Amino acid sequence: MTCPSVPIARLAASVALIAAAGCRSSSPDDGVPRAGRTRPRLVLQVTVDQLRGDLPWRHADRFGEGGFRYLMDRGTVYLDAHHGHANTETIVGHTTLATGADPAAHGMIANVWLDRASGELTYNVEDARYPLLLAGAGVDRSTEVDPTQRTARSDGRSPAAIQVSTFGDELMLFTGGRAKVFGVSIKDRGAISMAGHSGKAFWFSKAAGRFVTSRFYYDALPGWVDAWNDRRLPEAYADTSWRLSGDASTYVFGDRDDRPYETSLGEFGRVFPHEYGPADGRYFTTFLTLSPAGDELTLEFAKALIANEGLGQDDVTDYLSVSFSSTDYVGHVFGPSSLESEDNLLRLDRTLAELFRHVDETVGLDDTLIVLSADHGGAEAPGYLTELGFEVDYVPGDFFTSFESESAYGEVVDTFSHPYVYLDVAELEERGLDPDRVARALADELTKLDGVALAIASVDLREGKFPHLRTVDSVLRNYSPGRSGDVYVVFEPHRYVNDFDGLTVATTHGSPWRYDTYVPLFVAGAGVPAQRVARRVETVDVAPTLSSLVGAKPPSGSVGELLREVVTPR
């Protein structure tokens, strides 16, 4: 049969969950590791939250030898890697990297979505059946820069909402359950999504100031985790501050520390030095995540996990995902083109170098396959763009509230949870209104609003009544019937709402525009050649490539193609 083009094939596989029968990839794949290549003892997947694809290169001249430079100089570097879905948020990107599937298949369509059955907003990895394994940790509401967490109604967490398998799951299946599969992050969703259904996840509870897990994974915390927490490493930052790691004159943004569009949070402020305050301060642990300290704590916990769980110590391939989150928090509060983001990235380079050094010492880099990417990019702060001559501004935080009050259909809207508008089905039935007609009318009205580039009704996605534009195709790849809203809203480039539950931030992400989809992609170690590849690739390609390199089958919802430069040795 004739095979469809790559974008259409991916869309069809994502939405219909069927493979194009008889189509063969141009990349060789017989389900076993390539000839002349042995399976790695450890697959180390690093995800840097909100690391836009250009940022490592902007500061590369000041990186050391062991971190980003190891990947840039000794690995395969993809220069044009993108997420193909529209809603570029944390859980969406992480799960795409883990599964090789679009959100249409893996189901994690947003950080928060409306549960149609309960009528309440649902946090992506929330699961009341599996409470935290740490007395007193409670529902984590301490953060002021992650309002999605406040949606959670319980402290329970699990990967149950992920609708397909991950690479970690396939590795576990392939090895008959002998592989060790772990995910670690400051964020629960950053750890849980990558560990998959069969692995184990640990994350940092800001409420408790400790790394935790849930009863989905263990009946009791492993002894080594208790021992690590008893060291109280977060408290070492008490009454200290985040200071520049070098002379300000050596920084690109060294003379632009105090910008009016940056967010000032209490004593942490918006200029260096940023004070952490006392260990018992209300926002002490939040301030740790707003700085390189969050990544440093993640590193120390990951090192302890490698040692105590014996990763990479036998012939069975193990898997460790480490998701570094500080870049995201710092980016939201100060913007990607800020002195804070610059210093954070330089410190992250040292953190990566220490992680790779530790892996080399315990496992060996030649026996470790490393892949580094990001869950999404990030927009520049409109204030910064204005300084450069752009005519842009934020979308007013109350834009949708105003729209509801003026729209003829405002009273039948249940909620707007970016990027989806959900209709009140019960109200529609009571009024005898057709949901599809109302959704289309709402989409037409929303498109006329200042700041809105596109609004498309889900019924048009289901029925194929949409123009085949890249932006619309990315919305289709984000569409999951049971979770997506009735209308998808895309803001204009460089326009977005920066009011998150009362907190004004410098910038955000979540759009299908290139600054949000563009991410780095480095693959190194375990026989991967040093090369730079300029062709367009997508993040859905990562998981099936990892599966091929260890001999496992692709994850169940995967629509990605093999990264042939990595799979085929020279």
CATH of the domain at 410: 3.30.1360.150
pLDDT tens sequence across 271-295:
999 999 999 999 999 999 999 999 9
- Determine, yes or no, domain membership for 270: no
- Note whether 471 and 523 are same-domain residues: no
Confidence of residue 410 (pLDDT cuts 50, 70, 90): confident
Is residue 80 situated within a structural domain? yes
Q: Is the model's pLDDT at 564 over the cut of 70?
A: yes
Verify that 17 and 83 share a domain, yes or no: yes
The verdict on 359 and 457 lying in the same domain is no
Task: State the pLDDT at residue 30.
Answer: 38
Model confidence at 557: pLDDT above 70: yes
Domain end position, chosen among 440, 468, 497 = 497
Asked whether residue 413 is domain-assigned, the answer is: yes
Determine contact, residues 354/268, Cβ cutoff 8 Å: no
Of the listed ranges 15-24, 199-208, 271-280, 355-364, the one predicted with least confidence: 15-24
Judged against a pLDDT cut of 70, whether residue 569 lies above it is answered with no
Residues 6+ apart with CB under 8 A from 177: 198
d(CA 366, CA 53): 26
What are the φ/ψ torsions at residue 250 (nearest 5 degrees)? Answer: -90, 0
Q: For 250-267, what is the mean pLDDT?
A: 95
The reply to whether 182 and 98 lie within a common domain is yes
Question: Is residue 138's pLDDT more than 70?
Answer: no
What percentage of the chain carries pLDDT values higher than 70? Answer: 90
Mean pLDDT score across all residues of the chain:
91
- Window from 28-37, 330-339, 506-515 with minimum mean pLDDT: 28-37
Residue 67 lies in a domain: yes
- Asked whether residue 36 is assigned to any structural domain, the reply reads yes
Report which of 176, 199, 180, 170 is spatially closest to residue 553, judged by C-alpha positions. Answer: 170
Q: Is residue 135 predicted with pLDDT exceeding 60?
A: no
* CB-CB contact of 369 with 44 (8 Å): yes
* Ramachandran assignment for 344, one of left (phi > 0), alpha (psi -120 to 50 degrees), beta (any other): alpha
pLDDT band per the 50, 70, 90 thresholds, residue 73: very high
- Where are the extended beta strands (E) located within 284-412? 318-324, 368-373
Q: What per-residue confidence (pLDDT) applies to 146?
A: 65
Given the DSSP bridges, would you call strands 241-242 and 274-275 parallel, antiparallel or unpaired? antiparallel
DSSP string of 469-530, one letter each residue: -HHHHHHHTT--TTTS-SEEEEEPTT--B-EETTEE-S-----SSHHHHEEEEEEESTTPPP
Ramachandran category for residue 232: left, alpha or beta (phi over 0 → left; psi -120 to 50 → alpha): left
Angle at 520 between CA 160 and CA 490, to 5 degrees: 65
Query: Sorting pLDDT into bands at 50, 70 and 90, what band is 10?
Result: very low
In this model, does residue 28 exceed pLDDT 80? no
Residues 404 and 534 in one domain: no
pLDDT of residue 19: 32
Sign of the CA dihedral with 287 first, then 288, 293, and 295 last: negative
pLDDT at 367: 97
Query: How many folded domains does the chain comprise?
Result: 2
Percent of the chain with pLDDT strictly greater than 90: 83
pTM for the model = 0.92
483/481 Cα distance (integer angstroms): 6
Higher pLDDT, 290 or 502: 290
On the question of pLDDT at 74 being above 80, the answer is yes
pLDDT range class, residue 362, cuts 50, 70, 90: very high
Strands 76-82 and 518-524: antiparallel
Co-location of 117 and 204 in the same domain: yes
User: For position 154, what pLDDT does the model report?
Assistant: 86
> Does residue 348 belong to any structural domain of this protein?
yes
Do both 520 and 468 map to the same domain?
A: no
pLDDT of residue 6: 37
| pLDDT value at residue 397 | 83
Structural domain range at position 364: 6-243+282-385+516-567
pLDDT level of residue 16 (50, 70, 90 thresholds): very low
- Report if residue 506 sits inside a domain: no
Residue 511, in any domain of the structure: no
**pLDDT recorded at residue 413:** 95
Asked if residue 434 and residue 367 are part of one domain, the reply reads no
Give the pair of three-digit tokens for residue 482.
């049971």
User: Are residue 378 and residue 457 in the same domain, yes or no?
Assistant: no
- Residues 315 and 177 grouped into a single domain: yes
The 10s digit of each residue's pLDDT in 170-214 is 999 999 999 999 999 999 999 999 999 999 999 999 999 999 999
Q: How far is CA 342 from CA 81, 299, 336, in A?
A: 22, 19, 8
Q: What is the DSSP string of 151-210?
A: G-SSS-B-STT--S--HHHHHHHHTTT-S-EEEEESSHHHHHHHHTTTSEEEEEETTTTE
Assign 376 a pLDDT band (cuts: 50, 70, 90): very high
Q: Where residue 63 sits, what CATH number does that domain have?
A: 3.40.720.10
Looking at the structure, do residues 409 and 534 belong to the same domain, yes or no?
no
Same domain, 60 and 207: yes
**Which of these, 396, 421, 303, 301, lies nearest to 358 by C-alpha position?**
303
Distance separating alpha carbons of residues 426 and 413, to the nearest angstrom: 11
**The pLDDT value given to residue 499:** 77
Instruction: Please give the residue that has the higher pLDDT: either 335 or 410.
Output: 335
Nearest to 297 by CA among 226, 365, 236, 218: 236
